Amino acid sequence: MTLRSMLARIGAQEDLNFLLTNRIPRRLATRFMGWFSPIEQPLVRDASLFLWRLFCDVDLSDARTTRFRSLHDAFIRELKDGARPVASDPAVLTSPCDAIVGAHGRVEGGRVFQVKGFPYRLSDLLPDAETAAHYAGGTYVTLRLTAGMYHRFHAPHDCRVESVTYVAGDTWNVNPIALKRVEALFCKNERAVVRTTLLASGHRVTLVPVAAILVASLRFRFLDITLDLRRKGPRTLPCDAELRKGEEMGWFQHGSTIIVLAPEGFGLCEGLREGGRIRMGEPLMRLPQGDAPEGSIRSD
């Protein structure tokens, strides 16, 4: 048995996993990671990169470089050109990130699920009732990024980002073990609510990046500030950033979750299943048939 497989077996023990990743000073540990991970001293860098690769399933074969200045530099690595082809069909909303697909489906009664049997209300996740009401009868998908994954996220369609609301909160782990134990976990954690409007159809699609333990910051390319635990919230930052499908929006410091919300009429793409993996740029949802932009490829 290898050391990595032994560590994985220990991590699979739910009680121990929950204890080690949640029953510690979460905010303090997260702020420590925000200080520690950018250290560029070679011995610190090499040791932290070794431990990262030991504990996490990391694939750097598609990274633009494998020589990193720090652990932080590795977390937010860029990819080689063409490493993530983006589905060009204008009737398709693509995944904003590499992820494991979590709970997904219809928004019913203002509720969605973090896992089976654990519902939460959109009005608790989002900072205002009007945004929550807009997605009544709509579609949602939960996308979980693990610590070893590519951590940047991208525009799911040609869109205009109209505002970002930062909501201060806790830093619970967002792995499946915690999701089965902590009620309305996503509504408790630090998060950002990114409101976008699709350029061709006018549909409003909202992305909610949710931070977690050891996620020291959220950064958006179209904002000149870093959103982290030192900031109070909720705080809305107006912006007017036009992005093309697949264009980079920002990045997490570490692994976490993005919840994608689309209005009524959007449907999930075939093959999407809980526990399955999806890459940035792959089909996630389909626009309503009657509102699909001209030139789209429709499925019967």
- Those residues with Cβ within 8 angstroms of residue 152's Cβ, 6 or more apart along the chain or in another chain: 76, 78, 97, 248, 250, 251, 280
User: 123 an active-site residue?
Assistant: no
**CA proximity to 280, closest of 265, 298, 260:** 260
Separation CA 273–CA 157 (nearest Å): 21
**Helices in 114-263 by DSSP H: which ranges?**
122-125, 129-134, 176-179, 185-188
Structure tokens at 99: 């992820």
- For 28, 77, 125, 267, 285, the CA distances from 274, given in Å and listed in that order, are 32, 26, 21, 15, 14
User: 163 an active-site residue?
Assistant: no
Q: Give strand pairing partners of 161.
A: 196, 241
User: 296 an active-site residue?
Assistant: no
Q: Which of 72, 151, 154, 254 is catalytic?
A: 154
Structure tokens at 201: 């159809």
Distance, C-alpha 125 to centroid of its chain: 14
Q: Which of 89, 98, 170, 228 is catalytic?
A: 98
User: Cis before residue 127, ω within 30 degrees of 0?
Assistant: no
DSSP for 71-130 reads HHHHHT--B-TTSS-----TTEEEPSS-EEEEEEEE-BTTEEEEETTEEEEHHHHSSSHH
Q: Which of 37, 201, 217, 256 is catalytic?
A: 256
- What is the helix (H) or strand (E) element at residue 30, kind and residue range? helix 26-36
| Contact between 161 and 243 (Cβ < 8 Å) | yes
Residues with active-site annotation: 98, 154, 256
